[in-house]
Amino acid sequence: MFPSDSKKPDLDWSQVRETVKLLSLSAAQVEELLREGDLSVNTLTESFTTLAEHMGTINGHLLALDSCAIRDQALVSCSETSDKIQTSVVAFQFYDRMVQCLQHVTSNLIGLSRLLDSPERLYNPTEWLKFQNEIRSRYTMESEKMMFDAILQGKTIDEALAAKEVQRKEQGQEDNIELF
């Protein structure tokens, strides 16, 4: 016999069980997107690595030629292309940051599902505190810790995002990546 669900509720129906299902669905969706994204990014990373190697080879060949206007223009093009490749590598670093954050979201959703699904833990404040501490300890980026702290202090999502943005501006990190 299957447990009651929202399609056919009975006296065993539970909003907690329905919540666990939806949290599990969200975690599965994020995991699947991360897997698919990794395949694309791995292909792009290999391509950019090859491009950078080829640009180095072309640049070396050009430097071996006698100086002339065409060679100098080609060297400028090589330099500009290498700069674009470096800009792309920085974009991949942003992607890595996003993946790390989404992996934390997935872990948190799974952990929350397990907590909600366990009656012994669900109503135990010590278990909730332990879970919150586990979440915070996994964070490696200050921005994640700041968001976590703000939300647990009762701030709204908008307030937490605004505080994060203020901190980034104060630290001069508006357009920079955060190393982790």
C-alpha distances out from residue 176 to 110, 120, 159, 169, 179, Å:
31, 45, 22, 10, 9
pTM equals: 0.68
- Contact between 43 and 84 under an 8 Å Cβ cutoff? The reply is no
Q: How many CA atoms lie within 13 A of 134 on its CB side?
A: 14
Q: Is a pLDDT exceeding 90 seen at residue 68? A: yes
* Greatest mean pLDDT among 9-13, 50-54, 171-175: 50-54
Digit-coded pLDDT (tens) for 156-171: 999 999 988 888 788 7
